[in-house]
Structure 1
Amino acid sequence: MRRLLAVIGAVVALVFAAQVAAFAEPVPESLAAQPIAGATFKGPVHALAYARGKFFVGGEFAEAVADGKLQQRTHLAAVSPEGDLEVFSPELNGPVYALATGSHYLYVAGRFTEANGHPARHLARFSLRTGAVDRDFDVSVNALPRALELDGTRLYIGGDFNTVNGQPRGKVAAVSTGTGGLVGDFAPMFDRGVRTLEAANGKLYVGGGFTAVGDTQVRKLAALNPDSGAVYSSFDPQDKGLVYDIDAYDGRIYAATGGQGGRVMAYDSGGGTDWERITDGDVTAVSVSRGVVVAGGHFDRLCAGDDLGANGRCLDGVFAERGKLFAVSTGNSVHSWNPGANSVTGTHFLARGGGVLAAGGSFSTFAGGEINRRGLALFPY
């Protein structure tokens, strides 16, 4: 028995030493420890996109605060990487949940029916330069779109809908950026909602809460042929929860997932799990650049093991305290970066551009309540 206890003790010591070594990674050298001063929003930020030297911000707000003054911004705005509120101010009559940018246009999806006073059923396109709605781009979606992905002359749409332009489409569709018409050959039928889309590696990766595409069983994460919509059976991840976000980087697919607790999953090209990092709440956003994975969500802690209890409680102990954001290397070494955001739902979306990591969410403070940043936080890197 003593020998068994000694062996167990040695194993525990080795595991602890490995965790300490993994935790010893410093803050990514160029990632700011706390957000800079800048515009904030009087409501949650659900979506971000970067183009033409500015971040486009979408969400559930009617006002922004810039230089101590309230300014009207109805669910859509633009902010410079330095935090300045731009004059860009289209008007929507409902919240925004997804954005995508092309060379000339901003594509916007959400729970609205009007854009700049004109009919627009859940999807609209605006000039990046002027903010004018493009009335020639007329796409009608019968229920909430939650994801947009622009790939060449196609705009892919994912969400909770069953029809697009009056034609059957099961949670995913593709429309022409020229005409807004459906791409006829692309019509996969997902049984449940889609939350995220990522075009990479010659494929369209789709994440959400689904269990099947047509007659093919596919759970939470799938890779599609971007032309035909056929499922690539060779990509077969064994995902553990609803997929909120996907980012592709250096041959891997990184997924932000929820469930009983949350995870960042790193998959190889065939969907095999390279590694996972477990939290005590949903991970809803992931962004990878320069060898660093940044994740955001509802969590407060990184778990020491994969045994989770009610409400995602870490039954194997807590590896590190992390308030709604954390950073890990692409080799799965946790960085000490911990800006400490508040709120129950925390971070909703992450985007990068102009030397800045932008986080959107329902938070209002960082650094244990010492720094006020409502809805939007900008971290130079």
Structure 2
Amino acid sequence: MRRYLAVLIALSVAFVSWTTPGYADMQQPAVVSADPVDWTPNIFNGQVNAIAVVGDTVVVGGDFSRIAEAGQRRAIRRPFLFAFHATTGRFRDFRPDLDGPVNALVPGPNDTVIVGGAFRWVNDQRRRGIVKLNLFNGEISDGFEGTIDTGEVRAMEIHGNDLYVAGNFSSAGGGRQPVLTRLDARTGLADREFQISITAPNHPRVKLEDISLSPDGRKLVIIGEITRVNGEPRSQLAVLNVGSRRPTVDPWYTMAYDSLCHRAFDTYVRAVDFSPNGAYFVVVTTGAISGPRRMCDTAARFDPQGSGEHGPTWVNHTGGDTLSAVSVTGAAVYVGGHQRWMSNPYGRNFAARGAIPRLGIAALDPRDGSVFDWNPTRTRGKGVEAMVATSYGLFVGSDTDRLGYEYHGKLGMFPLHR
């Protein structure tokens, strides 16, 4: 792996930064290497839930407390959040003090990172669920008032100064919009024109699991425990038009997720990601019940053009294992979870004919969902929770310690071939 390190340091790479129009996975020209770099830090407990790249800094959030730089055995204490240099792995002097897990991260304006999660206090100040931090020292950014009242933040997306925040809260930033809201990324105050009704009659609660914003900032895909949006039937997934200040429900929709999976899941959609060109998005699911006619434990591509009901462009089944993360790069659709196989629609916790072994991580062809030869493997565990593509590779965060047949404590990065 040292040959890749030398190349990476020598190259002038283009990092994701605040000047990017929207925060999305980067277009990549090829499938990444199956050999992860050697310099990413190690995390000794808990799991990684979120990763963001801001300039030449990588910020990592989750439910953990003990970390170390690569090659170091002695752990240091950095609960829930830390940062490191994007091509050396050296820790940044970024030490915020949070009292709860981090679920979501996006770059903020003026060398900041916006953090969402289940915390209530940050640096001994009341900051429930969301906070903006100085990237250099971890201090709270002055003038940001984006706290939530109850629940937690599960996902965020950003485009310019528009910050979309999703979860199971009742209000955020001083507004009255539950579950999904749009805040000003500079002040954290709610956009009062952003009003949308998201409901789930006969369900115990309304909750969004994930959201994904098209690169042009005009369409927002929301997934979670929802059945109606502005009174329109939308089963677990809806596309919103957010290009103007007042959001509307897109006339395109799918009922692919209307069928039930296991009774334990009020919602079984887990993650969604738009393609870099905005032409399609991919959704991954859990479910515990497999079969070729079900959308449980699958990855599926949707092309949100036109109006009316539409099915998926393609579906790839694991055969009964959860997929929990997805990153679409144009060259590939990367999916992660605790799967054992892909292309296994007839398997029910076994490999049926045609199943392709892929332990915990896989790369799919965006055109038809077929499985690429790329097969680094990872220890399955609970699954991958964070995947972020950059111009130089793919960061992966999870709850296990083996990635690409090497030790990588909860975190790794697969570089692009050069």
User: TM class by shorter-chain length?
Assistant: 0.7 to 0.9
Write out per-residue CA displacement over residues 161-180 of structure 1, whole angstroms, 9 at most, x where no aligned residue.
12224543231111112322
Write out per-residue CA displacement over residues 288-345 of structure 1, whole angstroms, 9 at most, x where no aligned residue.
214211111121111432x454xxx257445111111000111223112222211431
> 1:218 aligned to 2:223?
no
Shift of 1:231: 1.1
Shift of 1:274: 1.1
Shift of 1:143: 1.0
Counterpart of 2:339?
299
Write out per-residue CA displacement over residues 237-286 of structure 1, whole angstroms, 9 at most, x where no aligned residue.
52366332222223111112222341111111235411111113121111
> 1:75 aligned to 2:89?
no
Counterpart of 1:258?
286
1:252 aligned partner, one-letter code: Y
- Do 2:174 and 2:190's aligned partners in 1 also have CA atoms closer than 8 Å? no
- Do 2:172 and 2:178's aligned partners in 1 also have CA atoms closer than 8 Å? no
Cα distance in 2 for residues equivalent to 1:282 and 1:318: 19
Cα distance in 2 for residues equivalent to 1:135 and 1:195: 29
Counterpart of 1:63?
66
Counterpart of 1:207?
223
2:360 aligned partner, one-letter code: K
Counterpart of 2:25?
none
Q: Which runs of 5+ in 2 are unaligned?
A: 1-28, 200-205, 260-266, 290-295
Cα distance in 1 for residues equivalent to 2:230 and 2:189: 23
2:323 aligned partner, one-letter code: V
1:347 aligned partner, one-letter code: V
Q: Which runs of 5+ in 1 are unaligned?
A: 1-27
User: Could you say what secondary structure the match of 2:250 adopts?
Assistant: coil
Cα distance in 2 for residues equivalent to 1:188 and 1:139: 19
> 1:244 aligned to 2:249?
no
Shift of 1:351: 0.3
Counterpart of 1:148?
156
Cα distance in 2 for residues equivalent to 1:172 and 1:338: 36
Decide whether aligned partners of structure 1 residues 83 and 194 sit closer, same or farther in structure 2, where only a CA change above 3 A counts: farther
Decide whether aligned partners of structure 1 residues 377 and 188 sit closer, same or farther in structure 2, where only a CA change above 3 A counts: same
Decide whether aligned partners of structure 1 residues 266 and 135 sit closer, same or farther in structure 2, where only a CA change above 3 A counts: same
TM-score, scaled to structure 2 = 0.78
User: Could you say what secondary structure the match of 1:265 adopts?
Assistant: strand
> 1:85 aligned to 2:99?
no
172, 175, 182: which one aligns with 1:174: 182
Cα distance in 2 for residues equivalent to 1:206 and 1:148: 11
Counterpart of 1:10?
none
Cα distance in 1 for residues equivalent to 2:343 and 2:284: 15
Within 5 Å, give how 1:260-339 maps onto structure 2. Answer: 260=289, 261-270=296-305, 271-279=310-318, 280-305=320-345, 307=346, 309=348, 313-314=349-350, 316-317=352-353, 319-331=355-367, 332-339=369-376
Cα distance in 2 for residues equivalent to 1:225 and 1:122: 26
User: Could you say what secondary structure the match of 2:388 adopts?
Assistant: strand
88, 100, 110: which one aligns with 1:94: 100
1:155 aligned partner, one-letter code: L
> 1:131 aligned to 2:138?
yes
TM-score, scaled to structure 1 = 0.85
Cα distance in 2 for residues equivalent to 1:85 and 1:77: 11
Counterpart of 2:16?
none
- Please tell me the root mean square deviation across aligned C-alpha atoms, in Å: 2.1
From the two aligned structures, give the one with the greater strand fraction. 1
From the two aligned structures, give the one with the greater helix fraction. 1
Within 5 Å, give how 1:365-376 maps onto structure 2. Answer: 365-367=402-404, 370-376=405-411
Cα distance in 1 for residues equivalent to 2:170 and 2:274: 27
2:285 aligned partner, one-letter code: T
Within 5 Å, give how 1:9-48 maps onto structure 2. Answer: 31-37=32-38, 38-42=40-44, 43-48=46-51
Cα distance in 1 for residues equivalent to 2:388 and 2:156: 14
| Aligned residues between the structures | 348
